[in-house]
Amino acid sequence: MHTTVGIIGGGPAGLLLARLLHTAGIDSVVLESRDRRYVEQRQRAGILEQATVDALRACGAGARLDAEGMVHDGIELRFDRRAHRVDFPSLADGRRVTVYAQTEVVKDLIALQLAEGGPLLFEAEVHAVEGADTDRPSIHYTHEGEEQTLTCDYVVGCDGFHGVARNAVPEHLRTTYERVYPYSWLGILADAPPAADELIYAHSDRGFALASMRSPSVSRLYLQVPNGTDPAEWSDDRIWDELDARFALDADPGWRLKRGPITSKSVLPMRSHVTEPMAYGQVLLAGDAAHIVPPTGAKGLNLAAADVIVLARALTHWHATGATDLLESYSDTCLRRVWRAEHFSYFMTTTLHTAPDQSPFETRLQISQLDRVATSHHAAAELAENYTGLPLPTGP
Ligand code: FAD
Ligand code: DHB
């Protein structure tokens, strides 16, 4: 089989790229190692930047997002047992974010791809990419028990952090930058109304906590826990009591989360990682295949979307004109924005969490920084601009 663009991975990056290419009249094949149900149920991110929402709308994937997504104009920061709201539109040129779960983005894109797009093969496990430095790279994969080869004009690795596409960049040309954090998140889903209308990010002397949501009746909550934590150590009551303790406010001592049955519990480790460059020959990397951020700034899914928006433009330009200039600058164009998001995610993570060996001096610095956001327009605007998403590079 041959296709113009072979896409490895059917997560948000691979599915959005396939849809953007389809709307530009470019054929592609998506190879995804897991089954459809697994990919659609995988509980992950929840916050979409304006540019991600705009891209989903523009490619015809906006109907349910517009009906069910919850537009948020700000977040609350809690620290030192007090609350401060960061108002996005007034600080970041009218920008807002939308709460719409990654599971739903993926379901919408899969439905469109199966109805209108090129092949999307589930349970198609890619083993290797060959010929990256030729004009006919090939993808080797197993599907329905058979070894298969897909030849392509371009291969795009959207196969996440544990994927194989990164290996197509020769080791001596690849540089990896990484930081592993000394804490994880215990994430839960609960059949309980959200704590508030907007998300709450809490710094406390017991560690970080985050109150998010999936719908008016489903809450998504996170607690900082030590690395290696087994979710079974955390009973439902222990989780709710700890969340209430971390969100506590002096001005409102009776404030409590609304409790309800906990339907899922999982522990997520936290890491920052960038692989440079994001391309070699005719193989390009996008999303988690090239970079990971800790989740505190809600950037992972949005960065993946930004990469493929830039890449779809470059491939469309090449397809229409034969010019490869935008494909050649793809890695540099994306990395500039990637490093900004890496810095923001690192800033949010290290400002809000308590490291196991943290000194009282470092805790005072964190509170001073949060107080600065609460009292300086410039500091608050810096947070709001990064959180709502920096502008995408403009197209050709
Ligand atoms: P992925 O979503 O990882 O998709 C990659 C796809 O490639 C997968 O479907 C995988 O099955 C497939 N694949 C892998 N190897 C192969 C192969 N060899 N052959 C074929 N297919 C393959 N971000 C936030 O902003 N907030 C969060 O709360 C948050 N929580 C997260 C929790 C977890 C456990 C993880 C792992 C990530 C989380 N993220 C979060 C990050 C966010 O979900 C990712 O940044 C986003 O999914 C990136 O999309 P992607 O398409 O690049 O990669
Ligand atoms: C969610 C996850 C995040 O990492 C974040 O910063 C905000 C919200 C969420 O899953 O809803």
pLDDT one-digit tens code per residue, 16-46 = 999 999 999 999 999 999 999 999 999 899 9
Residue 61 lies in a domain: yes
Residue 138 lies in a domain: yes
pLDDT one-digit tens code per residue, 39-69 = 999 989 999 999 999 999 999 999 999 999 9
Task: State the distance from the centre of ligand 1 to the C-alpha of 345, rounded, in angstroms.
Answer: 17
pTM of the predicted model as reported, rounded to 2 decimal places = 0.97
DSSP codes joined into one string, 178-189: EEEEEEEEEEEE
For residue 208, which ligand has an atom nearest its CA? 2
| CATH code, 323 | 3.50.50.60
Residue 265 lies in a domain: no
Return the active site residues: 72, 201, 295, 299, 387
Residue 343 lies in a domain: yes
Domain with 284 in it: 2-73+98-179+271-353
Helices assigned H by DSSP within the chain: 12-23, 36-41, 50-58, 63-68, 88-91, 102-116, 236-246, 300-321, 325-328, 330-352, 360-375, 377-388
pLDDT one-digit tens code per residue, 150-166 = 999 999 999 999 999 99
**CB-ligand 1 contact for 187 (6 Å cutoff):** no
Cα(195)–Cα(200) distance, integer angstroms: 8
Decide if 102 contacts 120 (C-beta within 8 A): no
Residue 62 lies in a domain: yes
For ligand 1, atom 35, the nearest C-alpha belongs to 44
What atom of ligand 1 comes closest to residue 298's alpha carbon?
A: 25
Residue 283 lies in a domain: yes
pLDDT one-digit tens code per residue, 282-333 = 999 999 999 999 999 999 999 999 999 999 999 999 999 999 999 999 999 9
Residue 358 lies in a domain: no
Cα(155)–Cα(32) distance, integer angstroms: 14
Cα(185)–Cα(266) distance, integer angstroms: 8
Choose among 16, 12, 10: nearest CA to 31.
Answer: 10
Residue 59 lies in a domain: yes
ipTM of the complex: 0.96
Instruction: Write the DSSP symbol of residue 229.
Output: -
Mutate to test the pocket of ligand 1, among 288, 291, 338 (most ligand atoms within 8 A of CB): 288
As for how many domains the chain has, the answer is: 1
Instruction: Write the DSSP symbol of residue 205.
Output: T
Q: Which residue has the higher pLDDT, 394 or 265?
A: 265
